[in-house]
Structure 1
């Protein structure tokens, strides 16, 4: 066994699933926003709060005139980054074992 091996296929799978769930929450908020979901609904509020927390670093990163474009780009960028990084890390863990 090589001393440079780290991680495991199970850990890689977990990282990929977490990245997928994060991107799903962000994508769900984008969809709810575009479909004008009722923000007084508890589930909609939960998804919005979770997405806002996940995309805190990319929220209002863009200054488009249209609010829908800012939401799609800001939250969409966060979703893509989480998917890319999460699956890249997971892929490296799969290959190392």
Structure 2
């Protein structure tokens, strides 16, 4: 296997992980906005995972409306994961 192939694979894996993390955060935002049943195991799993992923940003903003805090806090985390993950992946692709 050539080093270029391995770096391409590593970059692709990093980009996929960033996409999955952003997807989970986006899915939680959607579930929150649509008032998903929080007693459901799947909804609880997505909420717990999103809260862990956005632990640094979920209470960063102090909007009066709860939905705005969720969208801003979890949305910020999703955007940061996408930007940083894809920036790292592109950097690896080039090497």
- Scaled by the length of structure 1, what TM-score is found? 0.92
- Structure 2: gaps (5+ residues): none
Which residue does the alignment assign to 2:64? Answer: 65
Aligned residue pairs: how many?
Answer: 91
User: Which whole-Å CA distance do the structure 2 matches of 1:78 and 1:35 have between them?
Assistant: 20
User: Which whole-Å CA distance do the structure 1 matches of 2:58 and 2:32 have between them?
Assistant: 14
Task: Describe how 1:15-94 pairs up with structure 2 within 5 A.
Answer: 15-94=14-93
RMSD over aligned Cα atoms = 1.1
- Structure 1: gaps (5+ residues): none
User: Which whole-Å CA distance do the structure 2 matches of 1:91 and 1:59 have between them?
Assistant: 27
- How far apart are residue 82 of structure 1 and its match? 0.1
- Scaled by the length of structure 2, what TM-score is found? 0.94
Runs of 4+, deviation exceeding 2 Å: none
User: Which whole-Å CA distance do the structure 2 matches of 1:56 and 1:87 have between them?
Assistant: 21
User: Which whole-Å CA distance do the structure 2 matches of 1:53 and 1:60 have between them?
Assistant: 12
User: Which whole-Å CA distance do the structure 2 matches of 1:60 and 1:22 have between them?
Assistant: 18
